[in-house]
Structure 1
Amino acid sequence: MKRRSFLTAVAGAAFLTACGAGEDDTGTAGAKITLGFSAWPGWFPWQVAQEKGLFAKNGVTVELKYFDSYTDSLNALATGNLTCNSQTLNDTLSSVSGGSKQTIVLLNDNSTGNDQIIAAPGIRTVADLKGKKVAAEQGTVDHYLLLLALEKAGLTEKDVTFTPLLTDAAAAAFVAGQVDAVGVFAPFTTTALGRSGSTAVSTSKDFPGAIPDALSFQAQFVKDHPDEVQKVVQTWFDTTAWIKDNAAEAVSIMAKKGGVSDADYKTYDAGTTIFTKEQNIEAFTPGGDAKHLDYQANKIAEFLVSTKLVDAKPPLDGLFEPKFVKAVR
């Protein structure tokens, strides 16, 4: 299972057609919305919205598309085969840099600890990773977290032996003792920490605001169908309110989708900070610190260019549209 890659390759047309949004998604008023999401605690509430009928309650037709491969969801949106997708700001910037026209209408959450660099016994700091074998899924946000952590410790990727593996395979390799450290996200953090004596030497909590998770739409759909977009955004906040009032049932729904126990799912709570309407409005407001999306977007874009993960800094004009969260009841 993959999540949160910021290097988007175009997938084959046959696959994208098979998981596409359909011809009617953007053609008429009240069109069906195909919403993509994948394994991440901040996105599992969409499953709750579907199972509890909250999309229908708001009068919007939404087909959820769950992707085992997060990268495939990015490709599907970038090539117009999803109406919208749950993805990181990093990945949206990468897609926009490649020419995709997208608009972010909602900030689901910030990663506040559920992305982790987990190391073997005896490795206590990021500096101790020098000369060690470190696995992560190349091009994912946890690869990005590794680069941020190394930079903060005065190191670069050249100071470690980077081993690119899919996230589930990377966690398994770490548990088997084949690598010295691993970059993973929840729920694979649970797998990696199963290695006796292992510990997280760096997490997304160390880099506040660096990994925002958002709902990004095809830009043209936002222009053509603002009422439908509004209903989806309203459903998100109705869902988070329902989860707050029905915590046990909600955890069971989300844990089942994530393939973990209810108890394990509860441990992810602090590591994913779901944003309120007020936090959304603050994030969409231009500003000069980590609370603001424009500030983070510029920092992430500069980092992606400097590390040659994208060729050019993506344009930010029109990327953020705050009117929908502002209109939430």
Structure 2
Amino acid sequence: MTTIISKFRRAALAAGIALSALSVSLHAEAGSLKLGMTTWVGYGPLFLARDMGYFKEGGLDVSLEIIEEASMYMAAVAAGELDGNASTIDEIMKYRSKDFCFKSVYALDDSHGGDGVLAPSGIKSIADLKGMEVGLNEGSVSQFWFNILLKQAGLSQSDVKITNMTADDAAAAFMADRIPVAVTWEPHLTLAKKENKGQVLMDSSKTPGLIVDVVALNCDYIKKNPADVEALVKGLYKANEFIKENPEKAYEVMAKGVGGWLKDPKDFASSAAGVNFYGKARNAEFFAGGEGGEAGKLIKLGGDIWGGFGKLKMDVKYDDLVDTSFLAK
């Protein structure tokens, strides 16, 4: 009898261990991912995929945290408090180093009118800004984009007088006649138009593919959680399709998720007109060609501009910043 009971106990113990292992396995499959980002219409698909359950379908629990300062969410990624971020390619280039490895796994959108230069009505071109004071956020995508515009006009940043301020403050200073020129973004461009204040001299619809937002993940996270990265990408593919098929409902969900100045679905829809959301086909197109393709040329341009200002921690190449292995799955 004792032998039989002993065998029973051993069997029960073995079954318990098996069930425990199964529980751990299931928990591991239901992975988690924490991302930081600013308040921007182009990040709406992340919230849509989360709130529509598209990430959950792939066994992934995604936490999205709004942090309005890039240096703060990048520091959180470096410290392991976040697994990655959503930001522009040029922005994250400045933080890439030999010791801080992260790579872009998905392109979310590009600004198509959402960024712009506010100037007096009499100004005809970017070249006419020579010698004028310009309010912009140094070290941000505004400085990156504005320097491209200056280069195209045959100028450099030394040809204008830069006053460092946030994009919001630059717009406010322009509206109050404290500075003549501001590099900013929505909703300030629309507000200036409504109040008939100066003009939008140039907006990003004239420079497609230069202000591109991506999801970048810590290299260790990518290596250790390939199934979760795949679930992230597939969830975003599905979210993009939903936006095309049912934009009104998509804007409602995204507005609620993103919040802030975009919490009203009407404001979100209006701002969404200033971006191009990237789905599966556009991601394949954008990253095609490696260093010689769109993404590669943009990274090279970022290297030239930020390297010229001494903002890079290393010579960032395409392969240092991009992992396309999950896009075709």
Q: Which TM-score applies when normalising by structure 2?
A: 0.83
43-52 or 263-272, larger mean C-alpha shift: 263-272
CA distance in 1, matches of 2:202, 2:99: 33
Correspondence 1:268 to 2:271: yes
Please name the residue that 2:299 is paired with. 297
CA distance in 1, matches of 2:276, 2:49: 18
Q: 1:325 aligns with which of 314, 324, 327?
A: 327
Please name the residue that 2:85 is paired with. 85
Count of residues paired in the alignment:
300
Alignment of 1:93-104 (within 5 A): 93-97=93-97, 99-104=99-104
Contact 2:35 2:65 in 1 (8 A): yes
Correspondence 1:135 to 2:150: no
Contact 2:134 2:163 in 1 (8 A): yes
Moved over 4 A (4+): 27-30
Contact 1:174 1:192 in 2 (8 A): no
CA distance in 2, matches of 1:104, 1:311: 17
Alignment of 1:206-217 (within 5 A): 206-217=206-217
Larger radius of gyration: 2
CA distance in 1, matches of 2:32, 2:313: 35
Contact 1:77 1:83 in 2 (8 A): yes
How far is 1:174 from its partner?
1.1
CA distance in 2, matches of 1:309, 1:194: 37
> Any idea what SS the aligned residue of 2:272 has?
coil
Contact 2:136 2:165 in 1 (8 A): yes
Please name the residue that 2:112 is paired with. 112
Please name the residue that 1:203 is paired with. 203
141-150 or 124-133, larger mean C-alpha shift: 124-133
Correspondence 1:177 to 2:177: yes
Alignment of 1:1-329 (within 5 A): 30-97=30-97, 99-256=99-256, 257-260=259-262, 261-286=264-289, 292-310=294-312, 312-327=314-329
> Any idea what SS the aligned residue of 1:81 has?
coil
> Any idea what SS the aligned residue of 1:42 has?
helix
Call closer, same or farther: CA 1:266–1:29 in 2, change over 3 Å.
closer
Please name the residue that 1:13 is paired with. none
186-195 or 228-237, larger mean C-alpha shift: 186-195
205-214 or 193-202, larger mean C-alpha shift: 193-202
CA distance in 2, matches of 1:308, 1:192: 34
195-204 or 229-238, larger mean C-alpha shift: 195-204
Call closer, same or farther: CA 1:117–1:240 in 2, change over 3 Å.
same
208-217 or 197-206, larger mean C-alpha shift: 197-206
Q: Quick one: which amino acid aligns to residue 259 of structure 1?
A: W
Consecutive unaligned residues in structure 2, runs of 5 or more: 1-26
CA distance in 1, matches of 2:44, 2:260: 8
Call closer, same or farther: CA 1:119–1:97 in 2, change over 3 Å.
farther
Contact 1:135 1:163 in 2 (8 A): yes
Call closer, same or farther: CA 1:139–1:191 in 2, change over 3 Å.
farther
CA distance in 1, matches of 2:320, 2:122: 48
CA distance in 2, matches of 1:82, 1:162: 33
Call closer, same or farther: CA 1:137–1:44 in 2, change over 3 Å.
same
How far is 1:98 from its partner?
6.8
CA distance in 1, matches of 2:255, 2:136: 24
CA distance in 2, matches of 1:154, 1:144: 16
> Any idea what SS the aligned residue of 1:268 has?
helix
How far is 1:216 from its partner?
0.4
Q: Which TM-score applies when normalising by structure 1?
A: 0.83
Call closer, same or farther: CA 1:78–1:188 in 2, change over 3 Å.
farther
Consecutive unaligned residues in structure 1, runs of 5 or more: 1-26
Please name the residue that 1:9 is paired with. none
Call closer, same or farther: CA 1:277–1:30 in 2, change over 3 Å.
same
Call closer, same or farther: CA 1:299–1:88 in 2, change over 3 Å.
same
Call closer, same or farther: CA 1:308–1:322 in 2, change over 3 Å.
same
> Any idea what SS the aligned residue of 2:118 has?
strand
> Any idea what SS the aligned residue of 1:62 has?
strand
